[in-house]
Amino acid sequence: MKIMYWSDYACPYCYIGVTNLKNAMAELGIDTEVKMMAFQLHPEADKQRRIKQMDDMAERYGVPREQAKLTLARILAMAEDAGLTMNYDQVEYANTEDAHRLTKYAQMTDTKKADELISRLYKAYFVDGIWLGDHEKLAKIAAECGFDRAEALNSFTEEKYIQEVKSQEDYAAAMQVHGVPYFVFNEQYVVPGALNKDQMKQVLVKVIELEAQDLGIAPGAACGPDGCEV
């Protein structure tokens, strides 16, 4: 089975969605590569700016704090259901281009280690409160996953891996992907948004059995340029 999904590190539903997918795969005994494709919710974001995620949400989307809290409550409940703990009070929003560039370097170097790196970057952002604009910390995480620290740092220089990131974003645009996560199974079965583990198991079973082109699964929660769903 071939699985790929578009995702942004700043998207909580992406972290939840891929966690549920991998847990569903484990329970079904499915062992196949799950490839992350680059998608930036806000590519225009200042790379030097550091702001708490909650403050950014209220400021960027012009939503009242109470509405932002409702969105956060839903996110935290879904995360808990997936077995994740998010420390949202520590999360600092970041332009994610460099994290995606590091991911492309990793995927082109060692796919298994790259998968570990992706998981670590999600955790770094949503659990450990690490700002993804910090190149030194990104390189340290890469080294802990078995990559060469100097080469990881080099991935941030000049125009390295920017074209690879842009190509995957252009591919998403061609497929009319407007929100993430966005999962594609065997290059034909599409699941937009984060589903829970049981729903993901249903999807995997249906894909394996090739029962129908339309999976019959309602879209899950997603984040788009205008914010995360409440």
For residue range 117-126, what is the model confidence (pLDDT) as tens digits? 999 999 999 9
Tell whether the model's pLDDT for residue 202 goes beyond 90. Answer: yes
Q: What percent of the chain has pLDDT over 90?
A: 70
Task: Report pLDDT for 46.
Answer: 87
CA 14-18-21 angle, to 5 degrees, is 145
> What distance in Å separates the CA atoms of residue 13 and residue 180, rounded to the nearest whole number?
8
At residue 130 the predicted structure's pLDDT band, cuts being 50, 70 and 90, is very high
Q: What is the mean pLDDT of residues 214-230?
A: 73
157-185 tens-digit pLDDT:
989 999 999 999 999 999 999 999 999 99
Radius of gyration, CA atoms only, the chain: 17
Residue 40 pLDDT exceeds 90? yes
Percent pLDDT > 70 in the chain is 95
Torsion angle, alpha carbons of 13, 219, 116, 102, to 10: -70
Read out DSSP for 35-74? EEEE--S-TTS-TT--EEHHHHHHHHHT--HHHHHHHHHH
Cα separation values, 58 from 109, 112, 126, 146, 180, Å: 39, 37, 18, 38, 20
Q: Rounded to whole angstroms, how far apart are CA atoms 215 and 205?
A: 10
Given a cut of 70, whether residue 13 has pLDDT beyond it is yes
Identify the weakest region by mean pLDDT among 18-27, 140-149, 219-228: 219-228
Q: What pLDDT is attached to residue 67?
A: 79
Q: Residue 209, exposed/middle/buried by CB under 10 A (0-12, 13-18, 19+)?
A: exposed
Cis? peptide before 181, omega within 30° of 0: yes
224 pLDDT above the threshold of 90: no
User: Average model confidence (pLDDT) for the chain?
Assistant: 91
Average pLDDT over residues 17-42: 96
List of domains in the chain: 3-228 (3.40.30.10)
* 211 CB burial (10 A radius; 0-12, 13-18, 19+): exposed
Residues in the chain: 230
